[in-house]
Amino acid sequence: MQKPEQPKPEHDHQHHHHVPHHPPHHTPGYEGSSRVWLYAGIVFLVIAIIYSVVLLTHSRGKPAAAGEPVADAQLQFDPGNDASGIALGPDKAKVVVREFADFQCPACGGFEPAVEQLRKEYVDTGKVRFVFFDYPLEQHKNALLAAEAARCAGLQDHYWQMHDALYAHQADWANQADPLNQFQSISQSQGIDSGTLLRCLRSGSTHETVIRSSDYAEALGVRATPTFAVDGDVYSGSITYAQLKGLVDAELAAGAQH
């Protein structure tokens, strides 16, 4: 999901500079010299096009393999900032996958099965460290409270159970005027003390931690959910597990060579 952008102002008036028309003066050799200048202009245009294509090709680097996602950007992440997210996996894992997401975002819900599979095959086996950052979008009215609910469950050592359940039951609470009852029901189904969770939400004790995570995403330039990074390569939008696995395997292989 994209952050809404402000519409750009339109200009109602266009100003045209009037150039008086004068008939051409026919002088000896005029037509011949005009033809020379025409040919020269065409040659110059062709050279400019070729140069632009070469420059664009070099700026893009080597093309990605068919079906392989293309990184939107490269960032140097400071592991110290991972504290604003929720992490799984060993601190010294060779590859770190970071996700910036919104619990109410449908695209994030669609991406979640790929992330769950990644956690099972790579994080739980110690190959990858995974860090989830809250980035609730303003247009999703219940996203912020859902993020706080997951963090409240985390205070009971049940963060990931609540995280997964919120995505699994996204349709049940996303459009509720007051989703608290749904959050309580979801927490109970996961063996979480719903009364404690409700008191945590009403006190706002996890609000600042969610805002800190969101501010970090903003500072990095994240503008859409889901956005994820495999080490320093940043991608936006959901992809298949096979594609995510390919990106991770490539980083693991590259790390093994150094």
Please, which residues have CB within 8 angstroms of residue 240's CB and are 6 or more apart in sequence? 114
Numbers of helices and strands, H then E, in the chain = 9, 6
Q: Where are the alpha helices (DSSP H) in the chain?
A: 30-60, 106-118, 143-154, 159-168, 170-173, 180-189, 194-203, 207-220, 241-256
Q: What's the confidence (pLDDT) of residue 41?
A: 56
Whole-number pLDDT of residue 67: 66
Residue 53 has pLDDT above 90, yes or no: no
The pLDDT assigned to 68 comes to 80
Higher pLDDT, 58 or 140: 140
Section 225-247 average pLDDT: 96
Mean of the pLDDT values across residues 210-222? Answer: 97
The 10s digit of each residue's pLDDT in 97-139 is 999 999 999 999 999 999 999 999 999 999 999 999 999 999 9
Average pLDDT over residues 180-207: 97
Provide the pLDDT for residue 256: 79
Confidence of residue 65 (pLDDT cuts 50, 70, 90): low
Tokens encoding 162: 């609540």
Closest CA to 229 of 117, 124, 75: 75
How much is the pLDDT for 52? 40
| pLDDT for position 26 | 42
Q: Please give the residue that has the higher pLDDT: either 191 or 34.
A: 191
The pLDDT confidence band at residue 22, using thresholds 50, 70 and 90, is very low
**Chain-wide mean pLDDT for the chain?**
83
Tell me the mean pLDDT in the region 151-168.
98
- CATH number for the segment(s) 73-256: 3.40.30.10
For the segment 155-169, the average pLDDT, to the nearest whole number, is 98
62 vs 113, higher pLDDT: 113
The more confident residue out of 1 and 217 is: 217
pLDDT at residue 15, as a whole number:
34
Residue count of the chain? 258
pTM confidence score: 0.75
Q: Mind listing the pLDDT tens digit for each residue in 95-107?
A: 999 999 999 999 9
Percent of the chain with pLDDT over 70: 74
Q: Any idea where the domains of the chain sit in the sequence?
A: 31-61, 73-256
Taken in order 254, 98, 229, 183, is the CA torsion positive or negative? positive
The whole-angstrom separation of Cα 68 and Cα 105 is: 24
